[in-house]
Amino acid sequence: MFNPFVSIIVRTKNEDFWIGKCLNEIFNQQYQNFEVILVDNNSKDKTIKIVKKNFPKVKIIIYKSKIFLPGKALNLGIKKSKGHLIAMISGHCIPKNDKWLGTLVKNFKNSSVIACYGRQEPSDISEPNDVRDLTYLFGLDKKVQLKDPFFHNANSMIRKSTWKKKQFDETIKHIEDRLWASSVLKNRKKIVYEPEASVIHFHGVGHHGNLKRVSTISKILKTKIFKNKKRSIICIIPLNKPIKINGKYLVEKTINDLKKVKEIDKIFISTADKKLDNKIKDRKVIILQRDKDLQKDFLGIEYILSKTYLRHIKKFNPSHVIVAEEIYLNRPKNFFQNIIDNFDENYESIIPIFKNNSNNIWKKDELGNIHPLFKTSLPSELVDHKIYEEAKGLGTLVKAEIFENSGRESNSQKFIEVDKKNTITTKEIINFNFD
């Protein structure tokens, strides 16, 4: 049974209205293998009196400082802790139910998870801007972050072993949590957002019109967190046997288009052609001989792509992957730059599409047979709508963490429309001019 000892660090400053409610809910958790350490920043109200009287098991650390530095307060508490896992909660946050702690803990069964943060919900008396911000930032869907350093210590948990390697910054007054997360997200480690571990957060995350604070946070984000955080994009060209036209290999056109884009760091060709090294000589192109187990005809292209990535490309640690196929000759000018510029990090991939102007579209039955489906056979509400086809081979951009599991397949897609003339025809092949 997974039952690690947890140290719960509660930060307080003048929380006498909330601290009793917060601690009551903590001690009423189903998961009971824990200690509580309260780090107080010179409270002038009854916070400490309430804790001493009603919660004698709580260890109290008084942090005396005119300027509150949240990272220092957390470090003080964690240094005194005994737990393998460290839960952190603000004194004005109240666990929503008795499963809060156990829900955070269970995420650490996965050894690659180094941190987890939970949902924050507004209270009945929260200010409108806090209601807005909390609802916007903390949604209902669980997610795994491999590169996004968003993290929030008001309701969270980390591994103590990770903290020992990287403590919280003690020099900044804000977003010490995101700065820490940015530093530890390395080597495919994960931060999990767990919406089921929810708290009621009275103060919220709004800045209450404090422009000075907003300016400070923006500066930290720019100089310390997102400094040097740029996309690292690689491209994979899947290729069986290259097609030669007018004395040149067709894939060279795709290579030349990709080389024009500065953001693309490396170009890989995944191929089963053992002699391709002698055919395609470009120092900016890395040719990967496809493993024997990936040369079987029945294997899908997405499976081959993801396996190739895991075995040979993942070590380069790209942030995004482009897949482009040689059969598309007439890509629009600046096509690859366009899909990069239009990529939205809220989506997992961006896929080119074009209008289907034919009189019919196609469908596959349960036996795998293909049948035409005439537009006139479509439901009446669809007849007048534009119908589009995917053109993934034209060039699809995918987040690397998604790509390694499923190739170009993703659950969250953004589409970019292109003209259908960018598909290939036999006539175009015969008459195609590389220049």
What is the C-alpha to C-alpha distance for residues 219 and 379, in angstroms, rounded to an integer? 54
Question: Who's near 32: CB < 8 A, 6+ residues apart?
Answer: none
**3-class SS at 391?**
coil
Q: What one-character-per-residue DSSP string does 341-366 give?
A: HT--TTSSEEEEEEE--SSEEEEE-T
**The pairing of beta strand 85-90 with beta strand 155-159:** antiparallel
Domains (range + CATH), the chain: 6-225 (3.90.550.10), 233-431 (3.90.550.10)
Tokens of residue 34, six digits: 């824990």
Give the least confident one: 149-153, 173-177, 299-303: 173-177
Angle at 266 between CA 260 and CA 267, to 5 degrees: 75
**3-class SS at 129?**
helix
What is the C-alpha to C-alpha distance for residues 380 and 343, in angstroms, rounded to an integer? 34
Task: Count the alpha carbons within 13 Å of 338 in the hemisphere toward its beta carbon.
Answer: 14
Q: Whose structure tokens read 């909390």?
A: 134
pLDDT for residue 253: 87
Residues 177, 97, 25, 166, Cα dihedral to 10°: -20
Cβ-contact 108, 160 below 8 angstroms: no
pLDDT digits (tens, 9 = 90+) for 281-306: 787 899 888 888 888 877 888 888 88
Tokens of residue 238, six digits: 């899947």
pLDDT for residue 294: 84
pLDDT band (50, 70, 90) for residue 57: very high
What is the C-alpha to C-alpha distance for residues 351 and 411, in angstroms, rounded to an integer? 12
Give 383 or 196, the one with higher predicted confidence: 196
pLDDT for residue 219: 52
Q: Residues 392-398: what's their mean pLDDT?
A: 90
Structural Rg of the chain based on CA atoms: 27
* Res. 179: pLDDT tops 60: yes
Task: Count the alpha carbons within 13 Å of 184 in the hemisphere toward its beta carbon.
Answer: 29
Q: Residues 388-400: what's their mean pLDDT?
A: 87
Q: Which region, left, alpha or beta, applies to residue 276 given φ > 0 means left and ψ of -120 to 50 means alpha?
A: alpha
* Res. 80: pLDDT tops 50: yes
Q: Whose structure tokens read 């240094």?
A: 79
pLDDT digits (tens, 9 = 90+) for 336-387: 998 998 887 778 889 988 876 655 566 666 676 766 655 444 455 444 456 6
Question: What is the separation of C-alpha 150 from the centre of its chain, rounded to a whole number of angstroms?
Answer: 10
What is the C-alpha to C-alpha distance for residues 131 and 62, in angstroms, rounded to an integer? 31
